[in-house]
A and B are shown apart, each in its own frame.
Chain A
Amino acid sequence: MNMVRVLERTGADVRYDAKQTCCGQPAFNTGYHDESRDMALHFLDIFDGDGSDYIVAPSGSCVTMVKVFYGSLLELPEEYREKAERVRSRVHEFTSFLVDVLGKNSVGAEFHGRVTVHDSCHALRELRIREQPRLLLRNVKGLELVEMDAADVCCGFGGTFAVKHASVSTAMTEEKVESILRSGADVVTGVDSSCLMNISGMLKRRGSAVRCMHIADILGGSGS
């Protein structure tokens, strides 16, 4: 709900269609294109022509699925290509929407703490989102932004990779967690819940007090 609050604070009229489910990325990433395509068509049927100007999601990887993979790496039937084209141009990741579309540097938020940003791979390399979250965080009252080393290195999640190659995934997450701990931050944030769930899982296992928070919860939250 914090994303909704931030968007409404900018004056946007936010709507939510309860028929939506999943963009199909998990199946796509694992190679199951038929299953993924079914979900993609469901997604396109709901969002194309729904009367809204923009589609905003608090997830770089879901946005990547729609914006980058629909119709390119995931083949769609002829009659859906135009739909996909229209939807693709309307879908935006949350921080990129605020900064690149609305031109906002600040959303008038307040948060007390030392915060570091983890760059999620899809957001960083498919959507080129790097500065947007940092810009918004720098303008949060009371927030101190610190950079970890290797912020742009993968956290090791990778969807089914985390289970198929759990030991390699774990080794990658360990390095990420060590970078976070070295940064001295008490909160790690990012634009993707899945990476944060992974990182948080190991921080908790280690008994660390460092918290993982989605950037929407910092920008729209209660302040600490």
Chain B
Amino acid sequence: MTSRTPIIPQNLKLLVEERIHDDGLRGNIRRATHTSLGKRAAVVEDFPRWEEMRTTAHDIKKHVMDNLAHYLELFERQATEAGAQVHFARDAKEASSIVCGLAREHGERVIVKSKSMATEEIHLNPALQQSGLRVLETDLGEYIVQLAEEPPSHITAPALHKSRGEIGRLFSEQLGIPYTDDPEELTAIARRVLREEFLQADVGISGVNFGLAESGTICIVENEGNARLSTTLPKVHIAVMGIEKLLPDAESLGLFLNMLGRSATGQRITCYTSLITGPKRSTEPDGPEQLHIVLLDNGRSTMHADPKLREALYCIRCGACMNICPVYQKVGGHGYGSVYSGPIGSVVTPVFMGEQAAHDLPFASSLCGACADICPVRIDIHHHLLDWRHRMVEGQDGPLLERIAMRLFTFTALSALRFDLAGRLARLFAPFLKHSAGGMRLPVWSETREFPNLPEKSFKQLWKEDRERS
């Protein structure tokens, strides 16, 4: 479905309501997430010590984040040594203008992009287009959502919300070809279109999955080969990398590659793993003449300075928390309105987009904790959501009625006398709320569920009677 409501977190409730009754959408998300989860479960079994690996991965990320300045400096030094040009961007605007500047300088025809959430975060595509440049997404999923003029709905599977029929219709309309919903045919069509463009492109833009500090290497994982083409064919390669993507060295990369592919798509390893250290060397026949690495802060140093939120920087963007999340499974990524959706998205978005904009996100969770249990780097995602709820209430105040209810309940609960009295009053007035089939009628709740009648006697009364008898 195409939504007319702008996909921003302020519209969370509207976006959810537009999607929650869409059975087709729910079926698409369910199939995709359950397929990934099933494959993941099978390949995680390769490692009887998976739980220990999670702890090790957590500890490595913690080590890097606790020594971030050191690793950033090392990475910058080594990458520069290898011939790359490293840029620092404080925020989304700065990152976007650095990339646009470079692209304008070197790009005349078309810019090819491989999948990158960091470039979504800085809203790069609209900025490039405003600079008069044509930008083409080359990851199949990203290509699909670009054709549909939608943002990605999942950090590793951007078009997860679409069925193959919907994709077939989209291709037919946008590319003027006969309708087919055969995945192989659709892939072949996209490949034909994209290959031509690759050969025309003079700038390639990518994200980064891991940055290795010891060697200044960037690592990109993918399945389609489009990232490799985007980073080798054009004469200029620009990589946008969040500063949290750092790892100490190649040795730790081994662990993370094993965990990322398994957690994200249930793959032992992705089809392509590119390790890029500097641009083309004089002895090499091909590769880009220039490699630019844009290190993106955009709120990350704020998270880093916060002892609680720092843990959210351990995230390797595998998307497993989205796949397992019962809320994500019902509404999909667009339901959240944020670039990063799902449980971890609701933890980082208040920093990336501001607490005002992201106010509702931490509350859009039942706090079941399935996200924390599946997270390969053991981020306590649901506890961070609890923490955000507190920050939101503290910083902006909750709804007036809610605040009054909370104070009233607390006032009542601080005295057993008042608590008893409230119970008695509730029992006295409950019959007036009586509804059908032995239940009470409550606003909102009773639209879809019954609410039980209050028991005739409180536990306190039962206990008293019981002790008097014996």
Contact = CB atoms under 8 A, between A and B. Distances in A.
Interface stretch (B224-232, B274-282, B440-448): B440-448
Given A1-B466, A30-B402, A73-B386, A39 B414 contact: yes
A19 B444 contact: no
B4 interface: no
Interface in B366-400: 366-370, 372-373, 383, 386-387, 389-394, 398
A21 B416 CA distance: 6
A169 B390 contact: no
Given A21-B414, A169-B366, A32 B16 contact: no
Given A154-B368, A158-B368, A165-B363, A202 B20 contact: no
B333 to A, nearest CB: 14
Interface in A28-84: 28-33, 35-36, 38-39, 42, 73
A19 to B, nearest CB: 4
A82 B413 CA distance: 23
Contacts of A101: none
Nearest to A22: B413
Given A31-B392, A38-B410, A73-B383, A201 B364 contact: no
A12 interface: no
B452 A158 contact: no
Q: Interface size for chain B: under 10, 10 to 19, 20 to 34, or 35 or more residues? A: 35 or more
B342 to A, nearest CB: 13
Contacts, number: 163
B452 to A, nearest CB: 6
A205 B438 CA distance: 11
B410 A27 contact: yes
B414 A38 contact: yes
A31 B393 CA distance: 6
Contacts of A16: 460, 463
Given A29-B389, A161-B363, A172-B330, A121 B444 contact: no
A14 B108 CA distance: 81
Nearest to A75: B390
Contacts of B449: 170, 173, 198, 201-202, 204-205
A169 B447 CA distance: 12
Contacts of B393: 30-33
B272 to A, nearest CB: 34
A35 B393 CA distance: 12
A158 B365 CA distance: 8
A164 B359 CA distance: 13
Given A1-B462, A31-B398, A167-B20, A161 B367 contact: yes
A160 B363 CA distance: 9
A12 to B, nearest CB: 15
Nearest to B470: A8
Nearest to B20: A167
Given A1-B462, A154-B326, A197-B452, A32 B398 contact: yes
A166 B447 contact: yes
A158 B367 contact: yes
A18 B326 contact: no
B437 interface: yes
Interface in A142-166: 152-154, 156-166
Nearest to B387: A73
B419 interface: yes
B459 to A, nearest CB: 7
A200 B445 CA distance: 13
A205 B450 contact: yes
B366 A200 contact: no
A198 to B, nearest CB: 7
A141 interface: no
Nearest to B325: A154
Nearest to B382: A125
B409 interface: yes
B407 interface: yes
Contact of A35 (B331, B406, B419): B406
B344 interface: no
A20 interface: yes
A102 interface: no
Contacts of B17: 167
B327 interface: yes
Contacts of A175: 326
Contacts of A122: 369
Contacts of A121: 366-370
A169 B369 CA distance: 15
Contact of A171 (B20, B365, B410): B20
Contacts of A161: 363-367
B439 interface: yes
B451 interface: yes
Contacts of A200: 450, 452
A177 to B, nearest CB: 10
A168 B75 CA distance: 44
Interface of B: 16-17, 20-21, 26, 326-327, 330-331, 363-370, 372-373, 383, 386-387, 389-394, 398, 402-403, 406-407, 409-410, 412-416, 419, 437, 439, 444-445, 447-452, 459-460, 462-464, 466
12 contacts: A1-B463, A22-B419, A33-B393, A35-B407, A42-B414, A125-B370, A164-B364, A165-B16, A168-B20, A168-B327, A170-B447, A201-B450
The 9 closest A-B pairs by CB, nearest first: A158-B366, A201-B449, A31-B389, A31-B393, A154-B368, A125-B369, A35-B410, A121-B368, A21-B413
Given A27-B410, A170-B448, 5 more contacts: A18-B416, A39-B414, A165-B364, A167-B17, A201-B452
Interface of A: 1, 4, 16, 18-22, 24, 26-33, 35-36, 38-39, 42, 73, 121-122, 125-126, 152-154, 156-173, 175, 197-198, 200-202, 204-205
